[in-house]
């Protein structure tokens, strides 16, 4: 048994918040996690270190802790030195550590329907078992994820902490902008009240400038990934989604994307990975986080490279510190997955063209209405444009909802079809 497995086996039976809050356990976890994995990219190691440090600070309650739902704008939190904690990311981590089956059983016991998103069910059960750092406040946004407001209402009652719900209109437009930017202004005052801190122009400017610098770096990364010699695989690239969840406006996000851009530029220059893969694919939605070999199988065995992912797309314009609430509003409303399915489809087509991809795989996570709801529309529209499409049913957190044999058969047929098309 390696030191990581030993650590996990000792820990998993006794996991609780007190243990996870212990500085000794945190240092050991940091040492083991960062040593255990052989990181192909320094940027991935920096990302893992950032996630571990953020979690450790939240457990130690060094600053106020805000639980945030996916896609909540983090810039205001980082401006106030509030630590964001994303329960969905914690569920992904629980799946990676092999803890999700037990948590999902617990969620069912306490009354969470199996029909719901397993990211949410796992987070609810983790809360019941008091695994996570306790929040000072909860922040949920209604856009894209219809389950998040419900989960956060439950969490707010469970922890007896205040909840701010951002009600995002389903489509952009002048009225929507006004409605949302008024709420963001209200949110800023709410955060000041609950954190006891003042949101000065200087703090806001700093967080916005970091967010904009990270955006620039991410654009550089995305541009470099168009090169066929780019050494970054889809399975690795999906990890950077964490930065969209809790890293917008955080200083480490800028460094991580800058490191990645350097590493990709070097990899391309040295051409140590030229001509990888016979087919170029776009990946939509997330991936299974528990132990599985789906993406390595696709990319290594079938030689179909995921050259870009929907979650790494920079779709928003730069933020303007002089008009903070309007520009944050525009960032939120510019998400292509918001509003009619046509927007998501057009963006998927654009990505396929930009990355010269002949196919799109949509990992259809069980219970995610916003993503799975538009699958038929995506298939029809992409096929009409000559882009092959596969919706792969599965679950990011619940391994029992993902028969690997079936999934492999489906991607093999998909790749065969791509093969025939190129003949």
The residue ranges that bind ligand SF4 (CB under 6 A) are 70, 88, 117, 119-120, 144-145, 147-148, 365, 367-368, 370-371
Contact 304, 415 (CB under 8 A): yes
User: Based on CB atoms, which residue is closest to ligand SF4, 225 or 343?
Assistant: 343
Label each residue of 282-322 as H, E or C. Answer: EEECCCCCCCCCHHHHHHHHCCEEEEEEHHHCCCCCCCCCC
Q: How far is the CB of 370 from ligand SF4 (least distance, A)?
A: 6
Pairing of strands 304-309, 163-166: unpaired
Closest CB to ligand SF4 among 70 and 268?
70
Task: Supply the minimum distance, in Å, between the C-beta of residue 212 and ligand SF4.
Answer: 25
Helix pair angle (100-109, 118-128), 10° resolution = 80
Q: Which is nearer to ligand SF4, 21 or 370 (CB)?
A: 370
Residue 292, number of CB atoms within 10 A of its CB: 16
Q: Which is nearer to ligand SF4, 48 or 122 (CB)?
A: 122
User: Between residues 242 and 355, which has the closer beta carbon with respect to ligand SF4?
Assistant: 242
In whole angstroms, how close is the CB of 227 to ligand SF4 at the nearest point? 31
Nearer to ligand SF4 by Cβ, of 29 and 332: the residue is: 332
CB-CB contact of 136 with 195 (8 Å): yes
Decide whether 164 or 208 has the Cβ nearer to ligand SF4. 164
- Cα dist from 87 to 138, 238, 245, 408, whole Å: 11, 18, 10, 30
Q: Which of 272, 259, 293 is nearest to 227 (CA)?
A: 272
How far is 82 from 193, CA to CA, in rounded Å?
Answer: 12
How near is the Cβ of 168 to ligand SF4 at its closest, in Å?
13
Instruction: Work out how close the CB of 326 gets to ligand SF4 at its nearest, in angstroms, rounded to a whole number.
Output: 25
Shortest spacing between CB 381 and ligand SF4, in angstroms? 21
**Shortest reach from residue 16's CB to ligand SF4, in Å:** 25
Minimum CB separation of residue 392 from ligand SF4 in Å reads 14
* CB 190, min distance to ligand SF4, A: 23
Euclidean distance between CA atoms 264 and 268, whole angstroms: 6
Q: Toward ligand SF4, which CB reaches closer, 92 or 277?
A: 92
Q: Please, is 405 exposed, middle or buried when counting C-beta atoms within 10 Å of its C-beta (0-12, 13-18, 19+)?
A: exposed
Q: Which is nearer to ligand SF4, 83 or 148 (CB)?
A: 148
């Amino acid at each position: 048994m390696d030191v990581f497995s030993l650590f996990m086996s000792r820990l998993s039976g006794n996991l609780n918040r007190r243990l996870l809050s212990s500085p000794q356990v945190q240092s050991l976890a940091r040492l083991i996690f960062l040593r255990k994995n052989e990181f192909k990219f320094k940027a991935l190691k920096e990302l893992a270190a950032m996630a571990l440090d953020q979690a450790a600070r939240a457990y130690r309650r060094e600053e106020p802790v805000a639980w945030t739902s996916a896609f909540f704008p983090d810039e205001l939190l980082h401006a106030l030195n509030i630590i964001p904690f994303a329960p969905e990311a914690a569920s992904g981590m629980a799946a990676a550590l092999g803890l999700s089956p037990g948590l999902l059983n617990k969620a069912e016991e306490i009354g969470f329907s199996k029909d719901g998103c397993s990211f949410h069910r796992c987070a609810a059960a983790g809360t019941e078992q008091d695994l996570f750092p306790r929040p000072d406040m909860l922040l949920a946004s209604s856009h894209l994820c219809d389950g998040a407001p419900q989960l956060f209402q439950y969490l707010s009652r469970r922890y007896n902490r205040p909840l701010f719900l951002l009600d995002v209109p389903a489509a952009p437009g002048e009225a929507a902008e006004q409605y949302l930017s008024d709420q963001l202004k209200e949110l800023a005052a709410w955060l000041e009240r609950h954190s006891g801190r003042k949101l000065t122009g200087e703090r806001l400017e700093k967080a916005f400038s970091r967010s904009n610098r990270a955006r620039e770096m991410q654009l550089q990364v995305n541009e470099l990934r168009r090169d066929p010699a780019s050494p970054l695989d889809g399975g690795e690239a999906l990890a950077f989604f964490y930065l969209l969840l809790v890293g917008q406006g955080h200083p480490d996000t800028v460094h991580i994307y800058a490191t990645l851009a350097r590493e990709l530029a070097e990899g391309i220059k040295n051409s140590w990975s030229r001509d990888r893969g016979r087919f170029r694919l776009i990946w939509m939605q997330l991936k299974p986080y528990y132990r599985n070999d789906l993406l390595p199988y696709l990319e290594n065995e079938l030689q179909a490279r995921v050259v870009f992912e929907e979650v790494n797309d920079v779709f928003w314009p730069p933020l303007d510190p002089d008009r903070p609430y309007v520009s944050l509003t525009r960032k939120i409303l510019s998400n292509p997955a918001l509003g009619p399915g046509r927007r998501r489809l057009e963006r998927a087509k654009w990505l396929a063209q930009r990355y010269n991809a002949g196919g799109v795989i949509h990992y259809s996570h069980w219970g995610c209405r916003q993503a799975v709801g538009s699958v038929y529309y995506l298939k029809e529209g992409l096929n009409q444009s000559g882009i092959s499409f596969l919706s792969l049913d599965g679950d990011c957190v619940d391994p029992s909802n993902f028969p690997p044999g079936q999934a492999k058969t489906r991607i093999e047929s998909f790749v065969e079809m791509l093969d025939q098309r190129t003949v």
